[in-house]
Amino acid sequence: MWRNTVMAVALTALCTGCTTMTAEDRRAADEAKCRSYGFLKKNDAFAECLQRIDLDRRAELRNTPAFDPWDRPVIYRPIILRPQPK
């Protein structure tokens, strides 16, 4: 009985660590990073800092071995052609 409880607590703790960052959370973290560098909001340097962070993130994604830009579902529907009688 207590094993089930321990397993449930362990599984819950494990799953709470698997949350992903939302776009809003990522933007807030990026803005905080640029402010920590000393950039002030609403100027060109701040915008360039955010852009560099985004470009770095995209470059890292492209360099991952799992990245495949052609990895899309293929829709395949066979067409059966029957010979026409003469």
Q: Domain residue spans in the chain? A: 21-63
Distance CA 74, CA 70 (A): 10
- Of 48, 22, 27, which Cα lies nearest the Cα of 37? 48
Long-range interactions of 61-66: CB distance < 8 A, separation 24+: none
pTM above threshold 0.75: no
The pLDDT value given to residue 61: 83
Average pLDDT of adjacent 10-residue blocks, the chain of 86 residues: 59 62 93 95 94 93 75 77 85
The pLDDT value given to residue 18: 60
The pLDDT value given to residue 37: 94
The pLDDT value given to residue 44: 95
